Structure 1
Amino acid sequence: MGSTERTKQYLDYKGITKYKFCNDLGFSNKFLDNSSNMGTDKACKILHHFPELNSEWLLTGNGPMLKENTTDIVVMNTNRKTIDSIHLNQEIPLYDLEAVAGLKELFKSGKPQRVLDTIKIPNLPKCDGAISVTGDSMYPLLKSGDIILYKETEFENIFFGEMYLLSVKLNDWEEYITVKYVQKSDQGQEFVRLVSQNSHHQPKDIHISQISALALIKASIRINTMM
């Protein structure tokens, strides 16, 4: 069995269609029709896209399909003129977002009963809190279930092009919480463009008055476990 056949075995295990796999990774629809070993560049792209996949198993067939339990911590790239101060030790509360009325209310209150646990990671920029991600708008950079660590901020201090946790008002009684890149809008200074990592989600321009809460994402945590 070649590495292409093992890739199909993994996709069957995860319930991922061949079409979605090829579309997400930019491969030809006939890529999986070849039963031989794939090139190194293709294998590296697959392993980057599916971090739980065991590279030794994919390339040689040896060992388990999935990695042993691991935790990936990614500090978001901040190519800005300002430099974040690093904290040797800090205890970051992990909040239950479903237990509060919204992101704005969470930032205001931070009541203990809404804290699920605390996270301790050395040498991170200052973070105000952490929540679990839902949805696939930032896939594959962020997957549903990943934990994001954030620093609350105001719109006046925004760095365009960075990734933010936002609460966006749809109307007087409805809003939604999302993770997006915030970029300048062609519609003028009173608007911003929200951009997803996932190419299936179209960019959207919104008026800045629709943003009720904002936080800069500092790091993410992904836990890879054996199924």
Structure 2
Amino acid sequence: MKAIQRVKQYIDFKGLNNSTFEKKIELSNGYIGTQIKRNADLGEGVLIKILDNCLDINPEWLLTGKGEMLKSSKEYKQESFQKSKIDEPKTHYGNTVPLYDIEATAGVFEVFNNNPQSIPIEHITIPNLPKCDGALYIRGDSMYPLLKSGDIVAFKTIHDKYNIIWGEMYLIYIVHNGDEYFFCKFLKKSSREGYAEFISHNQHHQSVEFPLDSIKALALVKASIRFNTLY
């Protein structure tokens, strides 16, 4: 039996539903249900979240299936006391964020707006990472060599497209004249009223301009990850 099935047993035992459990351990909506249906493996980051937020669960049971589901009352009380004594507030650092594959989800707009249809393919944990809403793979070479195709960028969704920090790097979803575009670009204020300039890092790509009203979803790039080898 995989860990995801033991998680389901714990949820049922506690009288919770998947959605309530996901909120409790700060997972995206629909993640647990999807993993149960797939009988999928849980990543290290998700397991850590469960153990950090469900203090009564027995780590050995969760990871291996050995022993009892719950800690003894003595262990539970001692750990709860130690946690409350430390009283360390949750910060936005050491953040675990959902990793999306845009091609496998409902689309960029849904991911940026936390649509339940947008199921992450994994969760990643990065030490000292500022608060982010998600991460995704970069496609194309417009930001090369700063970013290359296959790199991962972590982003924070911006809900007010008129609150842009000019000069920063953004992920932008645009609908203009019936066409859809998805860019990773630097944004610069245009000399044209109501427009923004989209600037690539790659010197072989020319900058383009679009009306601010054409921006349907916007996210600030806060971090990037690059794999130098696949093994």
Q: TM-score range by the shorter chain?
A: 0.5 to 0.7
Which sections of structure 1, spanning at least 5 residues, go unmatched? 1-85
Question: Which residue number in structure 2 is paired with residue 115 of structure 1?
Answer: 120
Which sections of structure 2, spanning at least 5 residues, go unmatched? 1-90
Q: Which is further off, 131-140 or 97-106?
A: 97-106
Q: CA deviation at 1:210?
A: 1.0
Q: CA deviation at 1:186?
A: 1.2
Conserved? CA contact 2:175–2:214, under 8 Å: yes
Provide the TM-score with structure 1 as the length reference.
0.58
Q: 1:121 to 1:107 in 2, by over 3 A?
A: same
Question: Which residue number in structure 1 is paired with residue 173 of structure 2?
Answer: 167
Determine which structure has the larger strand proportion and give its number.
Answer: 1
Provide the TM-score with structure 2 as the length reference.
0.57
Conserved? CA contact 1:87–1:122, under 8 Å: no
Counterparts of 1:3-82 in structure 2, within 5 Å, are: none
Give CA deviations for 1:14-58 in whole Å, capped at 9, x if unaligned: xxxxxxxxxxxxxxxxxxxxxxxxxxxxxxxxxxxxxxxxxxxxx
Aligned with 1:102 (options 104, 107, 113): 107
CA–CA distance in 2 between the matches of 1:107 and 1:226? 28
**Number of equivalent positions:** 141
Question: Which residue number in structure 2 is paired with residue 89 of structure 1?
Answer: 94
Q: 1:226 to 1:156 in 2, by over 3 A?
A: closer
Question: Which residue number in structure 2 is paired with residue 209 of structure 1?
Answer: 213
- Structure whose CA Rg is larger: 2
Question: Which residue number in structure 1 is paired with residue 55 of structure 2?
Answer: none
Question: Which residue number in structure 2 is paired with residue 195 of structure 1?
Answer: 199
Q: CA deviation at 1:108?
A: 2.5
Conserved? CA contact 2:95–2:130, under 8 Å: no
User: What's the secondary structure of 2:145's corresponding residue?
Assistant: coil
Q: 1:226 to 1:122 in 2, by over 3 A?
A: closer
Q: CA deviation at 1:156?
A: 2.5
Conserved? CA contact 2:110–2:117, under 8 Å: no
For residue 185 of structure 1, what is the amino acid of its counterpart?
Answer: S
Give CA deviations for 1:74-114 in whole Å, capped at 9, x if unaligned: xxxxxxxxxxxx72332100012112343212222443762
Conserved? CA contact 1:92–1:130, under 8 Å: yes
CA–CA distance in 1 between the matches of 2:175 and 2:196? 14
Q: Percent identity over the alignment?
A: 47
CA–CA distance in 2 between the matches of 1:111 and 1:119? 19
Question: Which residue number in structure 2 is paired with residue 127 of structure 1?
Answer: 132
Q: 1:93 to 1:207 in 2, by over 3 A?
A: same
CA–CA distance in 1 between the matches of 2:213 and 2:170? 16
Aligned with 2:164 (options 158, 161, 177): 158
Q: CA deviation at 1:165?
A: 0.3
Q: 1:159 to 1:204 in 2, by over 3 A?
A: same
What is the RMSD computed on CA atoms of the aligned residues?
Answer: 2.0
Q: Does 1:182 align with 2:190?
A: no
Conserved? CA contact 1:182–1:192, under 8 Å: yes
Q: CA deviation at 1:115?
A: 0.7
